[in-house]
Amino acid sequence: MLQLVLACVAFIVPHLLVSPTAARPALIRLVGEQGYRGLYSAVSLAALVWMGVAYGDAPYVAVWEPPVGLRHLSLILVPLAFVLLVLAVASPNPTAVTGGRALEEGRAPGIFAVTRHPMMWAFTLWAVAHLLANGDLASILLFGTILLVAQAGMVLLDHRKAREVPNGFARLAAASSRTPFLAMIQGRARTTLREVGPVKILVGLVLFAVVLMSHRALFGVSPLPGG
């Protein structure tokens, strides 16, 4: 369990204590933009792998017993997470490292009119789904860490972009929202299913089905009823 705690801390540090703070420009000055990206990716991946290995080795310590209804709810949240993940990866992201021009222009196309952080919401839904389905201490640590990083990361990323590209981010914030659909409800943003990408949505659902069917083989347990 100690290994898992340390791995979770190692995952939190680059995402919440380095990337959105003054440590980031300091490291960029030291190793360069490309060097920073490579170092950040390597540390994040290593911490994620460490978390997975430590989670698999952690003892089972029951904290609470999730009711069956919550486990079924997780099967609704996870496909939404897969769809959001595919949409985030396959669409031009104005808040990404490579999204400079879109951010400068303050554009929020497709899924980014729904929320400017679809990937963070994908991880949020995925983490919440697994917290609803698992009541042991190791699961709470692992998925709780991912939930924390995703939710806090959205706020910190917005603050960083507001500092780095104040005019562009102000336009982006005016045409989008962190909370899904909020800007659309308020009339500040709009999109269409065609602009979001029906094929991308289908790919996300197919990917979810593949992972669901192979979940037992990959992770030793099936999330399906009776699994």
- Whether 19 is covered by a domain: the verdict is yes
Distance between CA atoms of residues 96 and 93, nearest Å: 5
The predicted structure's pLDDT at residue 114: 95
The predicted structure's pLDDT at residue 68: 79
| pLDDT digits 0-9 by tens, 35-56 | 999 999 999 999 999 999 999 9
Percentage of the chain beyond pLDDT 90 is: 70
How crowded is residue 92: how many other Cβ atoms within 10 Å of its Cβ? 13
Average pLDDT, the chain: 90
What tokens appear for 227 in the block?
């699994």
Flag whether pLDDT at 106 surpasses 60. yes
Q: How many domains does the chain have?
A: 2
Q: Which domain holds residue 123?
A: 61-219
- Whether 225 is covered by a domain: the verdict is no
Judgement on whether residues 12 and 124 belong to the same structural domain of the protein = no
3-state secondary structure at position 88: helix
Judgement on whether residues 95 and 52 belong to the same structural domain of the protein = no
Flag whether pLDDT at 96 surpasses 80. no
How confident is the model over 54-69, as a mean pLDDT? 91
Any residues with CB less than 8 A from the CB of 192 and at least 6 apart, and which? none
Contact 180, 121 (CB under 8 A): yes
| pLDDT digits 0-9 by tens, 162-207 | 998 898 889 899 989 999 999 999 999 999 999 999 999 999 999 9
Judgement on whether residues 30 and 17 belong to the same structural domain of the protein = yes
The predicted structure's pLDDT at residue 60: 94
- Among 59, 78, 94, give the residue marking a domain's end: 59
pLDDT tier at 102, thresholds 50, 70, 90? low
Judgement on whether residues 70 and 107 belong to the same structural domain of the protein = yes
The predicted structure's pLDDT at residue 215: 82
Judgement on whether residues 113 and 200 belong to the same structural domain of the protein = yes
Distance between CA atoms of residues 106 and 165, nearest Å: 10
Contact 12, 149 (CB under 8 A): yes
Paired residues of 43 in beta bridges = none
Q: Whole-prediction pTM value? A: 0.91
